[in-house]
Amino acid sequence: MKELNPTTDPIGQNLIKVISNVCFSVFVFSVLICTVIAIVYQPPDPWESSRALTRVFTQFENATFQTDTSVLKTGEDFAVSPSASPAAMTIPLTDAIIEKSAESVQNLSRACEDVNVVNCSDRGVLIAIQKFNMRLFKSIVFLEYQVPVDGGKSGECDVAWRFRNKKEKSWRKYRDFRRFRIGYGENCTYKVVGAKGWHSGLNARRPRRRDNGTSRGDRGKVTAPFRDDEINDTIPVLGSDTDFRKGRYLYYSRGGDYCKEMNHYIWSFLCALGEAQYLNRTFVMDLSVCLSATHSTSHKDEEGKDFRFYYDFEHLKEVTSIAEESDFLRDWRRWNKSHKKKIPLRKVVSHKVTPMQLKNDKSTIIWRQFDAPEPENYWYRVCEGPAAKHIQRPWHALWKSKRLMNIVSEISGQMDWDFDAVHVVRGEKAQNKEKWPHLDADTMPDALVAKLQGVIQPWRNLYIATNEPFYNHFDKLRSHYKVHLLDDYKKLWGNTSEWYNETMMLNGGHPVDFDGYMRVEVDTEVLYRAKTRVETFYNLTKDCKDGINTC
């Protein structure tokens, strides 16, 4: 065999071979690195999985409900951004956008001899207000402004805007309208020299659509009810007989969960909703809720409460398939009465029949019946055992009522979004010295003053979220802080309020009590929006949240 003579081989060919070998080695090494990264790296899920949320509420894998007296966190507490609903999203206004608009306005000529007259519709006025708000309200995302209008006096302008709080992660919008005193800065540009408080710009308030008819308040005063145009919690209509027959439904009879605490009810309700989604069926929902004695004003179980008093039905029906129970039963009876062939029905009498066994059932209606004694008749039992691996509770579908969230925004807005808060748990826990031996003493006025002075600066707005029934319990704090309690804002749910009128229309013209669970929801959401938050069982006392030896 003839030997290769390196002196006779072309140098270019050897160089090409060397380069190709190096490139191939780099390529193989890169593929290897990418493969390792793909195997090892697990990107964070922006929407927490059902199992992760289950651990948040139960701290263990089983689906069994555990009692928690705190308010239930709902879908808007876990959503990562307003992008959950792109159709409803509005691009927030930023400093860069406002500065760009300001530059364009500065190029417009305006005679300095006209500075004595403020034209509220001038773009410069709006930009001055936008800059002022951006500096003052750091916790607010401004979404859109209306054109300013005259405020009633020379140099005053009213303007309305939509916003959301940075700590609320839903896409829902809220409204404010304020009155500003406008002056002039350098180069005859407008500037804000003074501003009034929350909802002070009455001339910029959008007129609300009135419903026909009137409703009578507690004292016989006739008030014309308003409807919030941004709330649409009307009940969806099933449609014609043909549409009804083509549907697939999951229907739960009432079980032992009825009249239990609200967190228990929601835990079971989301189990049922999760099964409906797993089976790809419309869930038949009873909007009538029984409020347990724990949170009712009468201290007795109160039936006939509307689900929409507490939770956002509009959002629920947008993200899940829902049928209202009374409409569903009426259409079902009408079909069976007018057709010889009855609607295909599968009755399920035990929670031990798993969702997996029902997955391929072709019946139009699957009717789960819960007639066994407690605790076998709890809805959430359906999601226990092997089903826990298949059923995901749709927490993202459950938001708190926008009517209650409007009250939250109003309370926060009246404090100009600049406040601290303390959560003071007392009530029955403070009286139970066996499980909470120090709680009562640690939440007495002198102890609160001593503790909070080291955490919150003097004369700050201090919101106290509490179940303490005695209003004057916190009077000693008033010598150090501007104290705010929920009862200071009774007007927001009084018989002249929007909340009162809107809930009364949902309730067939009968007034609705602002009950204990509503108070807890509002208190908790205001607490979340505070700049500094002090908790009872983490900051005020060494007692454990669930009693001795549970920390």
Rounded to an integer, the average pLDDT of 314-328 is 94
Distance CA(99)–CA(129), nearest Å, equals 12
What digits encode the pLDDT tens for the residues 336-385?
888 888 899 999 999 999 999 999 999 999 999 999 999 999 999 999 99
Rounded to an integer, the average pLDDT of 269-286 is 97
Sign for the CA dihedral angle at 334, 340, 346, 348 comes to positive
Rounded to an integer, the average pLDDT of 281-305 is 95
Instruction: Read off the DSSP letter of residue 83.
Output: G
Sign for the CA dihedral angle at 271, 276, 280, 286 comes to negative
Q: Give percent of the chain above pLDDT 90.
A: 63
Cα-based distances in Å from 79 to 59, 138, 331, 399:
20, 21, 36, 10
Backbone angles phi, psi at 481, to 5 degrees: -140, 165
Least confident of 178-192, 317-331, 342-356: 178-192
CA angle 414, 416, 419 (to 5 degrees): 100
Q: What is the pLDDT of residue 2?
A: 44
Distance CA(215)–CA(223), nearest Å, equals 6
Q: In what order do the strands lie in the sheet with 533-534?
A: 482-485, 461-466, 420-424, 533-534
Residues contacting 227, CB < 8 A, separation 6+: 208, 209, 210, 211, 502, 505
Higher pLDDT, 26 or 541: 541
Q: Quick check: 217 pLDDT over 60?
A: no
Q: Which of 459, 449, 457 is nearest to 424 (CA)?
A: 449
Residues contacting 31, CB < 8 A, separation 6+: none
Rounded to an integer, the average pLDDT of 462-466 is 97
Distance CA(365)–CA(284), nearest Å, equals 10
Higher pLDDT, 63 or 340: 340
Q: Quick check: 27 pLDDT over 80?
A: no
- Kindly provide the residue ranges of all beta strands, DSSP E only, lying in 264-357, ordered along the sequence: 282-285, 288-291, 302-306, 322-324, 345-348
Higher pLDDT, 22 or 268: 268
Rounded to an integer, the average pLDDT of 175-198 is 91
Residues contacting 538, CB < 8 A, separation 6+: none
Most confident of 57-66, 86-95, 377-386: 377-386
Backbone angles phi, psi at 378, to 5 degrees: -80, 135
Rounded to an integer, the average pLDDT of 216-245 is 63
* CATH code that applies to domain 241-397: 3.40.50
CA angle 177, 182, 187 (to 5 degrees): 135
What digits encode the pLDDT tens for the residues 254-266?
999 999 999 999 9
Q: Quick check: 181 pLDDT over 60?
A: yes
Q: What is the pLDDT of residue 148?
A: 95
What digits encode the pLDDT tens for the residues 28-51?
677 667 665 555 444 443 333 334
Distance CA(253)–CA(31), nearest Å, equals 57
- Read off the pLDDT band of 52 (50, 70, 90): very low
Sign for the CA dihedral angle at 137, 140, 145, 151 comes to negative
User: What topology is assigned to 402-540 in CATH?
Assistant: Rossmann fold (3.40.50)
Domain coordinates in residue numbering, the chain = 86-204, 241-397, 402-540
What digits encode the pLDDT tens for the residues 149-173?
999 888 999 999 999 888 887 888 9
Query: Which runs of consecutive H residues, i.e. helices, occur in 107-221?
Result: 123-136
Q: What is the pLDDT of residue 209?
A: 54
Q: Quick check: 546 pLDDT over 80?
A: yes
Rounded to an integer, the average pLDDT of 440-451 is 96
Least confident of 89-98, 293-302, 445-454: 89-98
Sign for the CA dihedral angle at 348, 374, 312, 215 comes to positive
Whole-model pTM over 0.85:
no
Q: How many CA atoms lie within 13 A of 126 on its CB side?
A: 18
Q: Tokens 């005063």 identify what position?
A: 221
Least confident of 231-245, 338-352, 488-502: 231-245
Distance of CA 196 to the CA centre of its chain: 28
Most confident of 35-39, 227-231, 445-449: 445-449
Whether 241-397 and 402-540 share one fold: the answer is: yes
Q: What is the pLDDT of residue 38?
A: 54
Q: Tokens 């927030």 identify what position?
A: 92
Q: Quick check: 234 pLDDT over 80?
A: yes
Distance CA(53)–CA(65), nearest Å, equals 13
Distance CA(509)–CA(503), nearest Å, equals 9
Q: Quick check: 128 pLDDT over 80?
A: yes
Q: What is the pLDDT of residue 25?
A: 74
- Exposed, middle or buried, 233 (CB in 10 Å: 0-12/13-18/19+)? buried
Q: Quick check: 445 pLDDT over 90?
A: yes
Higher pLDDT, 188 or 34: 188
- Read off the pLDDT band of 53 (50, 70, 90): very low
Q: What is the pLDDT of residue 453?
A: 94
Distance CA(55)–CA(23), nearest Å, equals 49
Mean per-residue pLDDT of the chain: 83
Q: What is the pLDDT of residue 85?
A: 45
- Read off the pLDDT band of 188 (50, 70, 90): confident
Query: Which runs of consecutive H residues, i.e. helices, occur in 217-312?
Result: 241-246, 262-278
What is the radius of gyration, based on Cα positions, of the chain?
30
- Read off the pLDDT band of 136 (50, 70, 90): very high
- Read off the pLDDT band of 284 (50, 70, 90): very high
Q: What is the pLDDT of residue 219?
A: 37
